[in-house]
């Protein structure tokens, strides 16, 4: 999961720092790869740690919580886009994602 988060942070940082559309496009491909690695690692860890009898309920609960979180983040993102430049938004995302990588490395 840490590697996926680190790749995600790298893609976010490149998008935050570049003004070139082509560089940003390549960085979004890196970002998407990191998001996929993180998602797969998270679901694998969930399946390994969930009791066999609860295998359907655990992932369903996680998907529900993640769906609510995505809806809230879309609403906040829509508000932020009207107030801030996209470079600032990506810099904020980079900061929080990078902080999570540091936390995962030290824990």
Assess contact for 2 and 101: CB atoms under 8 A. Answer: yes
Q: In the structure encoding, which two tokens stand for residue 7, read together?
A: 């790749």
Higher pLDDT, 31 or 56: 31
Whole-number percent of the chain with pLDDT over 70 = 100
**Distance between CA 100 and CA 2 in Å, rounded?**
9
Name the pTM for this structure.
0.82
pLDDT at 102: 95
Count of beta carbons in the 10 Å neighbourhood of residue 30: 17
9-47: pLDDT as tens digits: 999 999 999 999 999 999 999 999 999 999 999 989 988
């Amino acid at each position: 999961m840490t590697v996926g988060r680190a790749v995600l942070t790298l893609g976010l940082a490149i998008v935050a720092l570049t003004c070139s559309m082509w560089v940003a496009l390549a960085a979004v491909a890196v970002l998407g790869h990191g998001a996929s690695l993180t998602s797969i690692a998270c679901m694998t860890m969930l399946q390994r740690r969930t009791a066999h009898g609860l295998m359907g309920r655990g992932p369903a609960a996680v998907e529900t919580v993640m769906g609510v979180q995505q809806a809230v983040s879309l609403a906040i993102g829509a508000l932020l886009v009207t107030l801030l430049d996209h470079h600032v938004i990506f810099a904020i995302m980079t900061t929080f994602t990078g902080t999570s990588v540091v936390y995962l490395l030290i824990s």
